[in-house]
Amino acid sequence: MDTDVLVVGGGPVGLTLAIDLGRRGVRCTLIEQKAEPAFLPKMERCNARTMEMYRRMGLSAQIRAAGLREDVPMDVYVVLAMNERPLLRLPYPSVAQATAHIRATTDGTEPLEAYQLISQYTLEPLLKSVLEQMPTVRVRFGCEFHAFEQDSQGVTATVHGAGGTETIRARYLVGCDGGGSAVRKQTGIRLRGEGDLMRLRQALFHCDELFDMLPIGNGPGHGRHYHVADDRATFLIMQDSTRHWTLHSRVETDAEMADAFERAVGVPVAYEMLSCQPWRQNLLLADRYRDGRVFLAGDAAHLVIPTGGLGMNTGIGDAVDLSWKLAGTLEGWGGPGLLNSYEVERRQVGDRNVGASRYASMGRRAWRSMYRPGIRDASPAGAAIRRDLARVADVEQRKTNEMIGAELGYRYVGSPVIADVPGGPEHLFRQYVPTTWPGARLPHVWLDDGTAMQDKLSDGYTLLKLGSAAREGINTDGLERPLRDRGVPLETVSIADEVAREVYGYDLLLVRPDLHVVWRGNQLPEEPLALVDIAIGNST
């Protein structure tokens, strides 16, 4: 074998997967057809759950340093133009404000990390630089994937690089190569759902002065998104540098995009249009996430409308779920159900997030449908149009910007590596209710010493002893010994803090490397060996 895992695609998902494999000591090769990361915006925000995952990798501080500075508010505006009084302002906290709120919250309802605005053209080079320092990982940009063949032992990929055509032999291959995935197409796996819902153009502008000019006249102040109330779905996004702006609009030509930018700003500014390209809104999900030794992750497996910010962030969840399962299988302690669980777990999240994106998109369409040609008229009729649109947007636009339930509250149901219990809390898009129900993410709580519970958990499995189990030192050898005998990485952590016990509701919790709960109880199960088999994928 040339490598254990071949990752095809050097976007945020592929880079994150390779980083997490590398930190687990897995031999990994990442190939990307571009010679260097492209200066294109695409995604522009890591949500709270993604930042928790990057914290586990030791990257959250670097990402924050590279991204938007912490004092800038994340406000969202609906405007006629940026030099006119906004029709609606939806206030959202800056990273500094969100972090302070998180620090003061002890009931498990908040994430450990706040979101971070960081553009893809900033994030990709950062992740690439981290990956290039890992001794077990080989990074090859300017190397294009062509085809693969697989057998019972591995995958042979044909690629084309600077030296011509060659083959790479790997135990597993992961396609992180986007919506047009060549890997997915060769497997024959289809994307299904709602395609080509709307066609727009996206342009990236460089403008040094616009951010510092805000507010312009009676216009809005600093924020993240500026939705123009027109009939072209025009939408201006501030990027992390505050000197770059992305514009989306339903126009026919690149030249019209420059006109749309000028109309949206409303006053003359010096700017340069750096790129412009068409794109289509899709709500699509792959039939399967796996074909033998070949897996799909990120946009190769699911395509959503950016409303709700669930595209790249869902892909990062795919990468983190798959990485430790590949590592466990390669290390020999993972049973056949471990890799089988990837599709079971992540496809249901992909399906839910396609639904969440549809829900958010319908909200945006609802208030945009209130547009009327007389919206600018200085008349009672014009004022009524503006008032009605703002009233609807005050309800419907929030569906795009308030997705904390989809971010933190997803729970794996029916997974072969979760001690599943019938029932369970409802899956909510906009509200997060902390729970330790098996399959859920372990809620964040602050401990008495000021540290975070998540920071106490190992990169492998963690057996948490809380409450009386921690105070009285309950014997858990019946669960610990068989896990360790099978080579499973496990740490036992005793926390006597009352707040943690109150939030989590149980004395004992078995938590996976990705912070999802495998099992909970107040005493060891009657058949701990059966729980061990479930946790590592040996259960039939």
pLDDT tens digits along 43-67: 889 999 999 999 999 999 999 999 9
CB 417 within 8 A of CB 536: yes
362 within a domain of the structure (yes/no): no
Residues 259 and 152 in one domain: no
Task: Report yes or no on 133 lying in a domain.
Answer: yes
Q: Are residues 85 and 225 in the same domain?
A: yes
Phi/psi of residue 293, each to 5°? -95, 10
Asked if the structure places residue 251 within a domain, the reply is yes
In this prediction, the residues of the chain whose per-residue pLDDT falls under 50 are none
pLDDT score for 160: 97
Q: Which residues pair with 516 in a beta bridge?
A: 441
Q: Are 43 and 22 in a shared domain?
A: yes
Q: How many CB atoms lie within 10 A of CB 486?
A: 17
Cis check: omega of the bond before 268, within 30 degrees of 0 = no
What is the pLDDT at residue 540? 64
- pLDDT for the residue numbered 52: 98
pLDDT on residue 41:
79
What's 236's domain CATH number? 3.30.9.10
CATH of the domain at 522: 3.40.30.120
Same domain, yes or no: 244 and 390: yes
Same domain, residue pair 337 and 309: yes
Q: Are residues 297 and 348 in the same domain?
A: yes
DSSP tag of 298: G
> In angstroms, rounded to a whole number, what is the distance separating the alpha carbons of residues 352 and 41?
25
| CATH at residue 133 | 3.50.50.60
Pairing label, strands 28-32, 137-141? parallel
Task: Report pLDDT for 151.
Answer: 97
Residue 125 and residue 46 in one domain: yes
Residue reference for tokens 């990236």: 204
Question: Are the C-beta atoms of 324 and 416 separated by less than 8 Å?
Answer: no
Owner of token pair 């709580």: 445
Looking at the structure, do residues 479 and 343 belong to the same domain, yes or no? Answer: no
In a domain, 363, yes or no: no
How many structural domains comprise the chain?
3
In a domain, residue 502? The reply is yes
Q: Say which DSSP state 259 is in.
A: H
Same domain, residue pair 216 and 78? yes
* Domain boundary, last residue among 379, 401, 423: 401
- Domain residue limits at 453: 409-536
Q: What is the pLDDT of residue 308?
A: 86
pLDDT of residue 169: 98
Our measurement of the distance from residue 40's CA atom to the centroid of its chain's CA atoms, rounded to an integer in Å, reads 18
Whole-number pLDDT of residue 40? 84
Domain contains 49: yes
Say if 219 falls within a structural domain: yes
Domain shared by 390 and 461, yes or no: no
Residue 124 and residue 19 in one domain:
yes
Residue 513, in any domain of the structure: yes
Residues 108 and 122 grouped into a single domain: no
